[in-house]
């Protein structure tokens, strides 16, 4: 469900569900951008206006601390806003709403949807109906566990590394 959009000097795509979706050139650009973002950790004020006015909706249908906080920290450090939920019990899916309907609803609020869901293929299902950029914060197939989600880019669980790694793939399409 990935559709690249042209934008001079940076990787802009509709969805990033796996690091395998990246070409060698795109992966290199993501890593180069992350390296540039590393300078953020040396600043006394660790916030940039890069994503000011943008919103990430974190949908965590299963428990997570490090992954959820890494996405939230990265978005805050890049000047964006974060909304969402950290438990499936607080979602309308607990009342029987389909994943696709949930995505359509939150899509109205989001520039980016970061989702962690226990069902295999859930990220692809979400990306199929989302207009916002969708990324997989976790899915349960063995290949995803080996790849360490799309967090493979981050190289560390620290908030600073989260800001470096996540920032490169949260740049929404040009509006």
Among 40-54, 55-69, 79-93, 147-161, the minimum mean pLDDT is found in: 147-161
Ramachandran area for residue 79 (φ above 0: left; ψ -120 to 50: alpha; else beta): left
The better pLDDT of the pair 20, 96 is held by 96
The better pLDDT of the pair 159, 21 is held by 21
Q: Tell me the C-alpha to C-alpha distance, in Å, between residue 171 and each of 9, 25, 79, 92.
A: 12, 17, 12, 28
Q: Tell me the C-alpha to C-alpha distance, in Å, between residue 147 and each of 53, 60, 85, 159.
A: 31, 19, 24, 20
Residue 156: is its pLDDT beyond 80? no
Separation of alpha carbons 167 and 173, rounded Å: 13
User: In this structure, what are the phi and psi dihedrals at residue 33, rounded to the nearest 5 degrees?
Assistant: -65, -40
* Token pair 């990265």: residue: 74
The better pLDDT of the pair 14, 10 is held by 14
Q: What is the pLDDT of residue 13?
A: 60
Separation of alpha carbons 165 and 40, rounded Å: 12
Separation of alpha carbons 20 and 167, rounded Å: 18
The percentage of residues in the chain with a pLDDT greater than 90, rounded to a whole number, is: 29
Q: Tell me the C-alpha to C-alpha distance, in Å, between residue 162 and each of 15, 65, 153.
A: 19, 13, 9
Residue 5: is its pLDDT beyond 60? no
What mean pLDDT is predicted for residues 116-129? 91
Residues linked to residue 15 through DSSP beta bridges, in sequence order: 134
| Torsion angle, alpha carbons of 73, 78, 81, 85, to 10 | -30
Cα dihedral 160, 20, 27, 168 sign: negative
* Token pair 């001079």: residue: 8
The better pLDDT of the pair 49, 138 is held by 49
């Amino acid at each position: 469900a990935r559709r690249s959009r042209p934008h001079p000097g940076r990787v802009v795509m509709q969805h990033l569900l796996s690091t395998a979706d990246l070409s060698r050139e795109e992966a290199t650009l993501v890593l180069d951008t992350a390296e540039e973002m590393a300078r953020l950790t040396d600043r006394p004020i660790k916030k940039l206006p890069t994503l000011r006015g943008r919103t990430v909706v974190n949908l965590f249908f299963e428990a997570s601390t490090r992954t959820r906080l890494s996405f939230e920290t990265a978005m805050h450090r890049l000047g964006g806003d974060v909304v969402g939920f950290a438990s499936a019990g607080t979602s309308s899916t607990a009342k029987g709403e389909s994943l696709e309907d949930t995505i359509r609803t939150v899509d109205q609020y989001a520039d980016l949807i970061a989702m962690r869901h226990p069902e295999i293929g859930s990220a692809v299902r979400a990306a199929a109906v989302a207009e916002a950029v969708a990324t997989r914060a976790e899915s349960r197939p063995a290949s995803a566990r080996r790849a360490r989600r799309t967090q493979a880019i981050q190289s560390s669980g620290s908030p600073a590394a989260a800001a470096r790694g996540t920032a490169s793939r949260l740049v929404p399409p040009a509006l």
